Chains A and B, each alone.
Chain A
Amino acid sequence: MAPAPNPTIDQPLDAVRVAGSDPGAGCSVSVTTKAGVTTVRTGPGLTRSAVRGLVDAVSRSLRTCPSRIVLDVGAVDDFDSAGLAGLVEALRLGRAAGVELRLRGLSQAMLDYFSLVSVERLTAAEPGPEPRGILRRLGARALPVLESMATVGRLGADCVMAVLVDPWRGRRPRIDRTTHEFDHTAGGALPITGLIGFLLGLILAMQAWVQLRAWAAELYVADMVGVSVVTEIGPLMTAIVLAARSASANAAQLGSMVVGEEVDALRQMGIDPVRFLVVPKVVALALAAVALCLIFDGVAIVGAALFARGFADIGFVAFGERLELALGLRDLATAGLKCLAFGGCVGVVGCAEGLSVTGGSEGVGRATTRAVVYSVFLIIVVDALFVTLQRMVFA
């Protein structure tokens, strides 16, 4: 680190020490005390390897409450910035302890280094973090969640406005972007949704059959599976698949756009990011939820029927007749509405989290996680609301 003989980088690299890391070189620190003045002398190498010894020696000397400490670096012929940082740290410790600490024997090279920084600033005492009461800490935890909810609410209202009101004001909906998004979300989620649907149909039929067999009521497998899949499990599972796939993707995409100032650029160009980016995603997700749920229901019922035929001796025709009796148009309609709501929630939560990203790439990661967690949570809440409403209306 010393200026004159530059370390030679062209020696075989593995043989050359990494600047100032030679083990044990000049670690020696000697401490002498005379008439209340403690002198700490460093060895010839004031480098990374020697710093710990120096700082330890100084803090040990400080504990003996000397009237003054002299740090003698006259013997130093090799130093690096870690070594000098050790000196600064020693000065800071002395200052904090209220002991006068002097440097002696600084070479011109060290003075040159110190000319680049301000020792005064570096050794200044910093105010510690101010203590916070329990209420403040609770608030600091709860506030982001509340803010998140408020953002989701506002964005949701914005989207509903855009979908219901804009067309009457002569603003054309963005069909092209919506179909593009639909293609991504529904098309991409199709295989996994189908697979989950088929397996769940099989599983539910088996579970129902095991229970119903005890009452010799195997035929009701069709009722149980049909009703539970169409009214609850279908909408719920598709929504959860969409939350995992699309809420996260939307949050990450919009979050990166926020970080890259792309959203601000849109705004500045007079393009509303909600109508340009968010509404197509939300509409596409709502429609995708309906479409995927229909497919899920169909595949699950096929799975259940196959099980019933294979293991429970219930023919396809009998299965179908039971289904027809058990399921009404009303069930299908509420399921459709549910799907629209779930898909909308997944879209709005993902986009809201994405748009409210702060703090660079880490913020994007946090938003992506929150998008999935909050949208699954919101789906359950909305489902509960639906069931309550349904009972109130149809009871």
Chain B
Amino acid sequence: MSRAGWGDAAQLAALQELQAEGLTLDARGSDDLIRAVAVTTVFGERTVLDGIDLAIRRGEVFVLMGPSGCGKTTMLRHLCGLRAPTFGTVSIGGRDIHALPAAELHALRLRTGMAFQGGALLGSLTVEENVALPLRENAGRQLPREVIRQVARAKLDMVGLLPAAERMPADLSGGMCKRAAIARAIALDPEIVFLDEPTAGLDPITAAGIDNLIVKLNAVFGITMVVVTHDLPSAYAIADRMAVFFDGQVAAFGTKDQVLEAGDPRIRDFVDRRMRDAERPEIDVARHMIL
């Protein structure tokens, strides 16, 4: 995964050239809403993402898949503008979001929503107040209190959490936290929603409910969905297109069928839930017995 020599001057120049090329690609002419070019992330000595190129179309459900720890969450944080990659660019609607002035970044954030992996609900507010928070803070003067409340309750009803509206986040199960986080992510009627592992750790029925919700939100409101998951059935149920990450690179990209047909053995193993040889613990009983 680690790639030595990123500091190398020649490679840096090559990379900058690549970036420049990427930037001249005109996103406005195409259907691509979000575009990542040569995104590379280095944590300390480790290269977690190694030159990722992605193009996400307007109005599609895009799934990022890959084994855990492969950098899916990191990629999502780059895509939504929370963290700039070490190298490479992310653009939304043709504009580099990591170079936006603060006011425009704020405007962009009001039009995107993100549901974090662990929920990230504010512990001091009830579930309903958590969902109402972005509206209250960003449109509080415009909207009557009761209407903000009704919006929050409607979003909670969409994720099936209305009965828990008055509870505190600390009293929720992990799955309920996730659903509340999704409700909060769609509170501002965003055009893009980023979801980090929305179905991980949920029972199959609740997970199917979330999948259904994602598809419906996409179909009814045309929200562009970027969903990170390592849950295969879920990915298959919702994805228009997907990218599979392996070792910090995009191993396959396209529709479900295209990804399967790509024939990458790692992806087949991932799909078949087989352990890769390299990761299988070596148990050589015989050798130990002989010695």
Residues of A within 8 A of B (CB): 1, 3-4, 6-11, 13-14, 16, 18-21, 48-49, 51-52, 55, 80-82, 84-86, 88-89, 92, 109, 112-113, 115-118, 121-122, 259, 358-363
Given contacts A18-B111, A82-B189, 17 further A-B contacts (CB under 8 A): A1-B189, A1-B221, A3-B221, A7-B191, A9-B33, A10-B28, A14-B103, A19-B190, A52-B143, A82-B135, A82-B139, A85-B147, A85-B148, A85-B151, A109-B220, A122-B162, A361-B123
Q: How far is the CB of A232 from chain B (nearest CB, A)?
A: 40
**Distance of A122 Cα from B155 Cα, bound (Å):** 10
Q: Do B147 and A89 touch across chains, with their CB atoms under 8 A apart?
A: yes
Counting chain B CB atoms within 10 Å of each CB, the highest count among A13, A116, A358 belongs to A13
**One of B87-95, B248-256, B267-275 at the interface:** B87-95
Cβ A48 vs Cβ B168 within 8 A: no
List chain B residues, Cβ under 8 A from A113.
220-221
Complex A-B, nearest 8 residue pairs according to Cβ-Cβ distance, in ascending order: A10-B93, A360-B123, A85-B150, A362-B124, A85-B151, A117-B157, A360-B170, A112-B220
Question: Is B189's CB under 8 angstroms from A6's CB?
Answer: no
Most chain A Cβ neighbours within 10 Å, of B150, B157, B170: B150
- CB <8 Å contact, A121 and B170: no
Known: A3-B221, A362-B124. A10 touches B27 (CB 8 A): yes
Q: Does chain A have a CB within 8 A of B70?
A: no
Residues of B within 8 A of A3 (CB): 220-222
Judge if B146 is at the interface, Cβ distance under 8 Å: yes
Q: Which residues of B contact A9 (CB under 8 A)?
A: 33, 92-93, 108, 111, 191-192
In the complex formed, the residue of A with least CB distance to B101 is A14
Q: Which residues of A are found within 8 Å of B190, using beta-carbon distances?
A: 19
Give Cα distance in the complex from A18 to B59, angstroms: 18
Shortest Cβ distance from B117 into chain A, in angstroms? 15
Q: Is the pair A358, B170 in contact by a Cβ cutoff of 8 Å?
A: yes
CB neighbours (8 Å) of A4 from chain B are: 222
Encode contact with A along B109-140: 1 for CB under 8 Å, 0 otherwise: 01100000000000110000000000100110
Is there an interface contact between B144 and A52, defined as CB atoms closer than 8 Å?
Answer: yes
Q: Which residues on B sit within 8 Å (CB–CB) of A259?
A: 170
- Beyond A55-B147, A86-B147, A360-B170, whether A19 also contacts B157 by CB under 8 A is no
Closest chain-A Cβ to B126's Cβ sits at a distance in Å of 11
List chain A residues, Cβ under 8 A from B148. 82, 85
Q: Is B139 within 8 A of A13, CB to CB?
A: no
What CA separation (Å) do A84 and B59 show in the bound complex?
A: 22
Inter-chain CA distance A82–B94, complex, in Å, is 29
Q: How far apart are the CA atoms of A122 and B163 in the complex, in Å?
A: 10
Q: How far is the CA of A81 from the CA of B143 in the complex (A)?
A: 12
Does B169 make an interface contact (CB < 8 A)? Answer: yes
- A117 engages B191 (CB within 8 Å): no
CB pairs A–B below 8 angstroms (22 shown): A1-B189, A10-B33, A13-B108, A14-B104, A21-B142, A48-B139, A55-B144, A82-B147, A85-B147, A86-B147, A88-B150, A89-B146, A92-B150, A112-B219, A113-B220, A115-B216, A117-B157, A121-B157, A122-B154, A360-B124, A361-B124, A362-B124
Give Cα distance in the complex from A175 to B24, angstroms: 65
Contacts of A117 in B (CB 8 A): 154, 157-158
With both beta carbons as reference points, the residue of chain B lying nearest to A114 in the complex is identified as: B154
Contacts of A358 in B (CB 8 A): 170
Name the B residues within 8 Å of A81 (CB-CB): 151, 154-155, 189
